[in-house]
Structure 1
Amino acid sequence: MRAAVAISQDADDPLSGLVLDDVPVPDPPPGWARVQVKASALNMHDLWTLRGVGHPAEHLPMVLGCDAAGVDEEGNEVIVYPVIADADAGGGDETLDPNRALLSERHDGSFAEYLTVPRRNLVPKPSWLSFEEAACLPVAWTTAYRMLFTRAGVRAGDRVLVQGAGGGVASAAIGLASAAGAVVYTTSRSEAKRKAALDWGARAAVPTGERLTEKVDVVIETVGDATWKHSLRSLRPGGTVVIAGATSGPNPPADLARIFYLQQRVIGSTGCTRHELVAMLRMMEATGLRPVVDRVLPLEDVHSGFRAMEAGELTGKAVVLPS
């Protein structure tokens, strides 16, 4: 079968280590299922792997891809929950299992015609979602859902700032928070992305770093260095910043005086539980919310999708069709 495989890592030229190759169709071990992948989606996690960040070189070669929607061996349409973990080891939350692994970290991922995962990782795909839409959800959308509702406890009427409109997690957070009745502000250097964010439900979209008209209750932060000061200055006393990434750099000045004096909370968030994925699907059905698909590409064009992601050209998700 055809697959996009990471064979080497290079911080300056990450895509040089991604090749298209023929690999064996995987044989599922006991308790696992084989899924024919109908659609996958690109994530920054794939580029971090190719740059050698958080992914040991000894795990290469590895089929990349964290998101998948497809058909299992019984013909059921499924979404693949991407965290391979023991929920009991995390006290009922598999994201707290110290041995957890996202798909493509220790197990071949979804940029292939077939993949294998534990059977508990299969979630029925609702008929109202296309395979392309469903493939956008497992990583970016569930990350946003957990940040908003599990970690920050966002409720209707809350003021929420989402930094970096246009990225996968940010676009999901704008839609999810708006659908839940929150008042959403967002930022971007791109006028086109600011305009798109208004279509997704944001009340206001301003240039990166511009002062907001009011303080917010919650900031959704995935950008890091470039937006950190603005995030803290936009947050009300007692408010919450939730962090699930730092695409512009992971070590901004902490501004501890502001944090302790204003009693602000800074919370980390990683991935989601299987239960949260199911809960998000129920919310999407109830509200009519759908993911934003920027483009759909054949597997042979996966490099062009990643180049667009690197350049910040995506507004929403890039979807890949393995076959």
Structure 2
Amino acid sequence: MQAAIAVSQSATAPLSGLVLDEAPKPEAEPGWSVVRVVSSSLNMHDLWTLRGVGHPPERLPIILGCDAAGYDEAGNEVIVHPVIADPDAGRGDETLDPDRALLSERHNGAFAEYLTVPTRNLIPKPSWLSFDEAACLPVAWTTAYRMLFTQARITPGDRVLVQGAGGGVASAAIKLAVAAGAIVYATSRSADKRAQAVAWGARAALPTGERLPERVDVVIETVGAATWSHSLRSLRPGGTVVVAGATSGMNPPADLGRVFYLQQRIIGSTGCTRGELIALLDMMDATGLRPVIDRTLPLSDIHKGFQLMLDGQLTGKLVIHPSTPAGASS
């Protein structure tokens, strides 16, 4: 089978370490299952791996891809929960297992026709959800769900700022928060992405760093250094910043005086539990929410897809079809 494999890492030229090559079809060990991947999707996590951030070089080569939807060995339609961990080690929350790993960190990922995962990580795909839509959920949408509802515990009427509108997590956070009855503000450097955020239900979308009409209860922060000061300035006393990424840099100015004087809370958030993915599906069923798909590409065009991500040209998710012939993009 053909697979997209990380073979080397470069902070300045990450795609130089990504190759398309043949890999053997995996075999499942006891307690694991083989999945035939119909759809996967790109995540910033893949680029971090290629840049050498958080992924030791001794774990290379490895097949990339954190998201997958497809068929199990019995022909059932499934979504793959991407956090491979022991819930008991995290006291009921597998994201708190110190030995957890996201798919493609220690185990080959979803940019291939087949993959293997623990059988408990397979969740039935609802019939109302397409494979492409399902493949957008495991990382980006569940990350947004956990940030909003588990960590920030938003309620109807809360003011929520989503930094960096247009990315996979940000687009999910905007749509989920609006569906939950929150008043949502968004920021982006792109006028087109700001307009899209308003179309998704945001009350207003402003250029990055611009002052909001009011202070907010919650900030959804995945950008990092470029927006951190703005996030703290936009937050009301006692408000909460939930952090699940730092695409623009990991070491922003702390501004500790503001944090302690205004009693602001900063909460980290990573991944999701299996139960949160199921809860997300229930919410989508009840509200009619669907992920934003920018485009689909065959696996053979994966370098093109990642370049679009690097250039900031995507709005929502880019879906990869591991078995689609070259040239069959949409």
TM bracket (short chain):
over 0.9
Alpha-carbon distance, 1:255 to partner: 0.5
Paired residue type of 2:227: T
Paired residue type of 1:104: S
Offset from partner CA, 1:214-255 (integer Å, 9 cap, x none)? 110000000011101110010000000000000000111110
Q: Does 1:89 align with 2:89?
A: yes
Match of 2:282 in 1: 282
Paired residue type of 2:59: H
Match of 1:167 in 2: 167
Q: Provide the rounded CA distance (Å) in 2 between the counterparts of 1:112 and 1:285.
A: 29
Match of 1:316 in 2: 316
Q: Provide the rounded CA distance (Å) in 2 between the counterparts of 1:260 and 1:17.
A: 43
Q: Does 1:74 align with 2:74?
A: yes
Q: Provide the rounded CA distance (Å) in 2 between the counterparts of 1:156 and 1:279.
A: 18
Paired residue type of 2:251: N
Q: Provide the rounded CA distance (Å) in 2 between the counterparts of 1:13 and 1:252.
A: 24
Match of 1:32 in 2: 32
Q: Provide the rounded CA distance (Å) in 1 between the counterparts of 2:56 and 2:248.
A: 22
Match of 1:61 in 2: 61
Match of 1:193 in 2: 193
Alpha-carbon distance, 1:52 to partner: 0.6
TM-score of the superposed pair, with normalisation by structure 1: 1.00
Offset from partner CA, 1:61-107 (integer Å, 9 cap, x none)? 10000000000000100000000000000000000000000000000
Q: Provide the rounded CA distance (Å) in 2 between the counterparts of 1:162 and 1:311.
A: 20
Match of 1:294 in 2: 294
Alpha-carbon distance, 1:199 to partner: 1.2
Match of 1:269 in 2: 269
Q: Provide the rounded CA distance (Å) in 2 between the counterparts of 1:12 and 1:224.
A: 19
Which secondary structure does the structure 2 equivalent of 1:295 belong to?
strand
* Over 2 Å off, 4+ runs: none
Paired residue type of 1:223: V
Q: Does 1:184 align with 2:180?
A: no
Match of 1:150 in 2: 150
Q: How does 1:162-241 map to 2 (within 5 A)?
A: 162-241=162-241
Match of 2:7 in 1: 7
Q: Provide the rounded CA distance (Å) in 2 between the counterparts of 1:275 and 1:250.
A: 29
Q: How does 1:120-131 map to 2 (within 5 A)?
A: 120-131=120-131
TM-score of the superposed pair, with normalisation by structure 2: 0.97
Q: Provide the rounded CA distance (Å) in 2 between the counterparts of 1:201 and 1:35.
A: 36
Q: Provide the rounded CA distance (Å) in 1 between the counterparts of 2:14 and 2:273.
A: 30
Match of 1:111 in 2: 111
Match of 2:328 in 1: none
Alpha-carbon distance, 1:151 to partner: 0.3
Number of positions where the alignment pairs a residue of Structure 1 with one of Structure 2: 323
Alpha-carbon distance, 1:201 to partner: 1.2
Paired residue type of 1:281: L
Aligned-residue sequence identity (percent) comes to 76
Paired residue type of 2:285: E
Q: Provide the rounded CA distance (Å) in 1 between the counterparts of 2:138 and 2:22.
A: 26
Match of 2:326 in 1: none
Match of 1:243 in 2: 243
Match of 1:41 in 2: 41
Alpha-carbon distance, 1:153 to partner: 0.3
Alpha-carbon distance, 1:204 to partner: 0.5
Match of 2:327 in 1: none
Q: Provide the rounded CA distance (Å) in 2 between the counterparts of 1:320 and 1:196.
A: 23
Which secondary structure does the structure 2 equivalent of 1:209 belong to?
coil
Alpha-carbon distance, 1:200 to partner: 1.1
Q: Provide the rounded CA distance (Å) in 2 between the counterparts of 1:231 and 1:198.
A: 19
Paired residue type of 1:292: V
Q: Provide the rounded CA distance (Å) in 2 between the counterparts of 1:199 and 1:291.
A: 14
